Structure 1
Amino acid sequence: MTPPESRPARRSLLAVGAATAATAFGIAPRAAAARPSTVLTWYDATAETIAVAGATTQVTNSRTWAIAWLAAARATRDVPAGVHRATHQEAALAAAVHHVLVSLVPSRAEQLDTTLRQTLASLPPGRARDLGVAAGRRRAGHVLAHRQGDGLDPASVNAPYPVPAPAPGVWQPTPPSFAPAAQYGNRLARPFLLRSPSQLRPGPPPALDSRRYAADLAEVRAYGAVDSTVRSPHQTETADFWYGSSLTLYTEPLRVALFRSRHTTAELARDVAVFHVALVDTQVATSDSKYAHERWRPVTAIRTGSIDPDPDWTPLHTTPAHPDHPSGHNTYSGAAEVVLAAFFGARTAPFDLTSPTAPGVTRTYTAWRQLSDENVEARVLSGIHTRSADEAGIELGARVARFALEHQRELFARGPV
């Protein structure tokens, strides 16, 4: 597939966002570093908790990450005079993340209690540790209370959506199950930093009589069909690799960045908090745009549209039950790329990544942008998004992430945010 002219522009957008944030907030890696063991222990505990017993909706799980690590970031910022700083911060981080996870995922309390005991046993007993634990629990309680009723629970996320009357370009339930619309309630939820879900809403998708729309549809028809004769084995692998949950697929890249970083404990907690706050707000903004524009999916357009309709056309992968514009995988990827580049630099030493939807496949990356580029291609190759929707997604995610980086100080104000 030939990359469209708009791709260099979107790369520039991401680069500017990362550079601006790094310059404005002094978030380049420092020369001295804290040992990351406590941070990584609780990062892994969060990931395992959500993988084993998390919610059925991705944004709800992103919310759990955001609340837990926002509490940890707040708890590690202020250390009382006269106590050992590192001990206090590590105890505070562990207690904050533990308290949130047990509150939101109580079925994992036994495992989390054990991890907390092990963490505290590894720290010197005394006033610094005790005050750290108290600070972590206090901050966790504050953030949990403030985020209560924010509309990001599974029931609210999947609020009923009245399907519009069939019309050219308008979303309709898609085969094979023709399931009800999902994630409509995201656009009704309360963001962490965005002023409203619609604040950064992108413009409409290409008009149905435009050359861009015709090109988008032709590309998906050829490369995204289940029986495509032009899609290469490597392209099929790309589609399979990125078909799974974005939250799952970006857990390891963020962990790699944390492990390699020379940030302090407090900075690492902030990194995780801002990453997931930005991603919650991105998912809220994504659903707002999807349901504001109500653009039909490629399978509907190809089967019933006016351009050479093919009622038997079937995509490689099953189409998710929500509108096309923009691609949620790509909004997630665009936001993740901007935050990772801002905190850790645009490039990284090689790291390997696997995917639960492509068993046995390992891919190696050296820049966060590579993940975004593959996401753009993957959703076209899967037959479930147009390239326009993918590129609009990258741009929206980048804009939300830049806003989060520019306003991150609000997360750490003394009052609740």
Structure 2
Amino acid sequence: MSLLTVPGWRRGAAGIAAAALAAGMSVAAPAAAATATVDTILEWYDTTAAAIATGTRPQVTNSRAWAISWLAAARAVRTAPASAAGHYQDAALATAVHTALSTLIPDSAPTLDAALRTTLDRIPDGRAKDRGVAAGQREARSLAAQRAGDGLDPAAVNPPYPAPDPGPGVWQPTPPSFSAAQQAGTRFATPFVLDRADRYRPEPPPALGSERYRADLAEVRAYGAADSTVRTPQQTDTATFWLGSSLTLYTGILRAALAQSTRPTAWRASLVAIFHVALVDTQIATSDAKYAYLRWRPVTAIQADGDPGWTPLHGTPAHPDYPSGHNTYAGAAEQVLTALIGAQARRPYTITSPSQPGATRTYADWRRPTEENVDARVWSGIHTRTADEVGVRLGRDVAAYTVRSAARLFT
């Protein structure tokens, strides 16, 4: 049964619980009092975030690590026994995430080992704990084996990609570094749920010289220039805040959703798993569209359009313009959270940004960050508004497909 066809799905907690059961996820009793003082979900969410923050792997490789580790955890906790469910689930979740991440990010193994000891030491010894540990190890090893060779390792994501011959509208390496194209191999990776990378490939970008094309270019030329006289300080702040990694920025948003949730462990673990599965598949679909159309970046277009000294506010990433990857990510994240939680957060939440240290932003829903991402990439001078808006639609489409198909992840 599709999650979105479960009666009451969009009517709050009762519908979400029904959907969880339909997907094969157990809705277990609250954790025992002995472990109630520590939220194991948040403990291991933060442990995962810290482990993934190490190194310089491609974003989609890091999204894969999130997806594998938390999908393994969600599968492990869903078979909790009726008695001592909390002890079993805490042991299963911690062990699954630890086992998966220790394999995927071996440099973090010592820190992960210490975190696992901390969790297991507070769980009373016994059959529930032992069964949880065994389930976590089993699910993590099984899923890691299934995903081996899926094309999301750094070398497969970023293979050599010769620059195409120059021509009007055709992507070319951009100043100042003129780096080779990145993420060209992601389009060949194996999705978790999506049946093919081009299922939601958008229509081609606006034709060169069309009214929409001219309007897009004029907006970026005016508002995205390093020396823009029309961009406001507030718009510059927005561009800078959302410049950082989408994965890093949305780690705070998803954590807020988890922290506010009163749902059982199995449901919350599954939320993290579905979120990152959707984001992996979205990045595969994004790469497919980018390299199908190879649309040049605004800096190339504007310099070719009689303004050779034009420079964007922020450096242009080394891959084609259409669609915007930041915005496919934002659209997918928004869609998952809206489908599984509702349009509004339970209460306002605040996030930080790696690209604007010390700054914070507070939101009450999941849509506002998407809207700011659309504007931000224009005001940074690195995407057209059409690329941004089409990116949001692509991300929402892939994420909606993932949520509809989520039962397959837990069988």
The two structures have a TM-score, normalised by structure 1, of 0.90
2:317 is matched with which residue? 320
Q: How does 1:65-214 map to 2 (within 5 A)?
A: 65-80=66-81, 83-214=83-214
Contact 1:21 1:405 (C-alpha < 8 Å) held by counterparts: no
The alpha-carbon distance between structure 1 residues 173 and 75, as it changes in their structure 2 partners (threshold 3 A), is: same
Query: Which 4+ residue blocks in structure 1 deviate beyond 4 angstroms?
Result: 28-36
Rounded to whole Å, the distance in 2 between the matches of 1:63 and 1:332 is 14
Rounded to whole Å, the distance in 2 between the matches of 1:31 and 1:217 is 54
Rounded to whole Å, the distance in 2 between the matches of 1:95 and 1:55 is 25
1:393 is matched with which residue? 391
Q: How does 1:15-54 map to 2 (within 5 A)?
A: 22=10, 26-27=15-16, 37-51=39-53, 53-54=54-55
- Quote the offset at 1:167 in angstroms: 1.1
Contact 1:32 1:262 (C-alpha < 8 Å) held by counterparts: no
Amino acid at match of 2:402: A
Gaps of 5+ in 1: 1-15
The alpha-carbon distance between structure 1 residues 31 and 117, as it changes in their structure 2 partners (threshold 3 A), is: closer
Contact 2:63 2:279 (C-alpha < 8 Å) held by counterparts: yes
Amino acid at match of 2:313: L
1:235 is matched with which residue? 235
The two structures have a TM-score, normalised by structure 2, of 0.92
- Look up the SS of the partner of 2:185 in the other structure: helix
1:373 is matched with which residue? 371
1:339 is matched with which residue? 336
Q: How does 1:242-391 map to 2 (within 5 A)?
A: 242-305=242-305, 309-348=306-345, 349-391=347-389
- Quote the offset at 1:360 in angstroms: 2.2
Contact 1:33 1:263 (C-alpha < 8 Å) held by counterparts: no
- Look up the SS of the partner of 2:16 in the other structure: coil
Rounded to whole Å, the distance in 2 between the matches of 1:21 and 1:325 is 34
- Look up the SS of the partner of 1:123 in the other structure: coil
- Look up the SS of the partner of 1:184 in the other structure: coil
- Look up the SS of the partner of 1:26 in the other structure: helix
Contact 2:77 2:93 (C-alpha < 8 Å) held by counterparts: yes
- Look up the SS of the partner of 1:352 in the other structure: strand
- Quote the offset at 1:80 in angstroms: 4.3
Amino acid at match of 1:279: L
Rounded to whole Å, the distance in 1 between the matches of 2:29 and 2:334 is 25
The alpha-carbon distance between structure 1 residues 159 and 22, as it changes in their structure 2 partners (threshold 3 A), is: farther
The match for 2:401 among 388, 391, 403 is: 403
* RMSD, matched Cα: 2.1
Cα-to-partner distance string for 1:6-58 (whole Å, 9 max, x where unaligned): xxxxxxxxxx99x996469932699986557111111000000011x244200
2:24 is matched with which residue? none
- Quote the offset at 1:259 in angstroms: 0.8
Rounded to whole Å, the distance in 1 between the matches of 2:9 and 2:223 is 37
Rounded to whole Å, the distance in 2 between the matches of 1:150 and 1:359 is 35
Amino acid at match of 2:113: D
Identity of aligned pairs, percent?
A: 61
Rounded to whole Å, the distance in 2 between the matches of 1:43 and 1:352 is 17
- Look up the SS of the partner of 1:27 in the other structure: helix
Contact 2:28 2:85 (C-alpha < 8 Å) held by counterparts: no
- Quote the offset at 1:211 in angstroms: 0.6
Cα-to-partner distance string for 1:162-204 (whole Å, 9 max, x where unaligned): 3221111111111111110000000011110111111111111
Contact 1:72 1:96 (C-alpha < 8 Å) held by counterparts: yes
Amino acid at match of 1:66: A
- Quote the offset at 1:78 in angstroms: 1.2
Contact 2:63 2:276 (C-alpha < 8 Å) held by counterparts: yes
Gaps of 5+ in 2: 19-26
Rounded to whole Å, the distance in 1 between the matches of 2:356 and 2:368 is 18
- Quote the offset at 1:327 in angstroms: 0.2
1:10 is matched with which residue? none
Amino acid at match of 2:265: T
Amino acid at match of 1:251: T
Cα-to-partner distance string for 1:316-350 (whole Å, 9 max, x where unaligned): 00000000000000000000001111222211211
- Look up the SS of the partner of 1:366 in the other structure: strand
2:23 is matched with which residue? none
Amino acid at match of 1:213: Y
